Amino acid sequence: MSQTQILISAGEASGDLYASRLAAELMRRTGAHFFGMGGEHMRAAGVELVANSADVTVSGFNEVWGKMAVLHRVLWRLKREARERKPKLAVLTDFPSFHIRVARRMNWQHIPCVCFVAPQFWAWRPWRVKLLRERYARALCIFPFELDFYRKAGVETSFIGHPLVDIVRPSLPRAEFFSRFGLDASQPLVALLPGSRMSEIRHNLPVMLEASQQIAQRHERTQFALALAAGFTARIISPAESSEGTLIIQSGETDQGFRLPGGVDLHVVPGMTYDVVGAASAAIVASGTATVETALLGTPMVVVYKVARFTELLLRALVKTPHFAMPNLIAGRRVVPELFQQDCTAPRISEEVLRIMDSPEARQEMLQGLAEVRGKLGPGGAIERAADIIAGMLESI
């Protein structure tokens, strides 16, 4: 009997991580062969990549137009591979705008689709939920409040919990982390998380660095750690005759320089985000998955986000929720400060960080709110629950 084929696809870093763990668990249980689109996590898990997610990942609406030709080529490639290999199932992870189109092509070939990590249609463009109902046999959601939204729309949905609950852990004890990176464990540490893509870093890091200078002016001994995602490197150039320096961040063949204000004791820590956040007294975090990771680590945070003007106008027109920071959406109330676009200024950021650092009452209130968020993300075992559902579907096909 030939080996069962399963198409699996992820288009972003978080999806690549989740899909790699799901693929590994299903391989162990079923012995199936997985092929599709993904990144290094999926490759390491044994998935045969016929397309690389790095080719299609975009940030903001402007970037979509520039990658339209690439997106169509990858879409065609996945359709062709599915036609030749005839998988029993397609597992499409997050990245909804692209994967809804993939699901349509799978439907043409009578291949059932699972939506692993249901999209946030409850937050923006809710009318698109009908496409999920029409094109997916099952949706797996990771936030508890999503279940009612999707079931009311007629989508066959299961709540599995958040995969990050099992993943987010520092790799080093706090004291060892401070020692390794030349940090003083007796002094405050503020983590800077400007995003996982260069376009996000360009928008968010300059204002974070300005805010860091203002924080340092109030608390001279404060240290700052820049958490860079895997694939980025950085160096600091500090001319002896100047109080300012230049921070150079490199990704692949791209270099980007940023002004490093004087008085900021900045330490660059690539590829160890959980250690940086876990050791920090407070964090300044670009909106996205990193805010959920920071909540799971229990570190008080200020959520920020700056985007291109065109993207801002579209977001304001399309987003239908009272909050944009994921911890606030999960809690259903304002747990952490969120500063978007015009509100995302150095004085506002520094004010909120200093409030966390200087007010025990404000800090304790936020810690309690973050504990509430962690509780709502469900117990561990999200990947195993997803594998249970998908394995059951394979048996019934």
pLDDT tens digits, 329-350: 999 899 999 999 889 999 999 9
- Mean pLDDT comparison of 58-62, 71-75, 110-114, 142-146, highest-scoring range: 110-114
Average pLDDT, the chain: 91
- 213, with CB counted inside 10 A (0-12, 13-18, 19+), is middle
One-letter amino acid identity for 295?
A: A
Counting every residue written for the chain, the total comes to 397
15 φψ region: left (φ > 0), alpha (ψ -120 to 50), beta (else): alpha
- Over range 172-200, report the average pLDDT: 94
| Confidence (pLDDT) at 231 | 85
Model pLDDT, residue 397: 86
Region 160-186: mean pLDDT is: 96
- Residue 1 has a pLDDT of 45
Judge residue 191's burial from the number of C-beta atoms within 10 Å of its C-beta, 0-12 exposed, 13-18 middle, 19 or more buried. buried
The closest of 12, 78, 22 to 45, measured between CA atoms, is 22
Kind and range of the H or E run holding 62: helix 61-66
pTM above 0.85, yes or no: yes
Which of 183, 186, 202 minimizes the C-alpha distance to 194?
202
**215/265 Cα distance (integer angstroms):** 11
Degrees to nearest 5, angle at CA 43 with 37 and 46: 110
Q: How many Å apart are CA 300 and CA 308, to the nearest integer?
A: 27
pLDDT for 66 = 55
pLDDT score of 70: 87
19/349 Cα distance (integer angstroms): 35
Which is nearest to 167 in space by CA: 273, 92, 96, 95?
A: 273
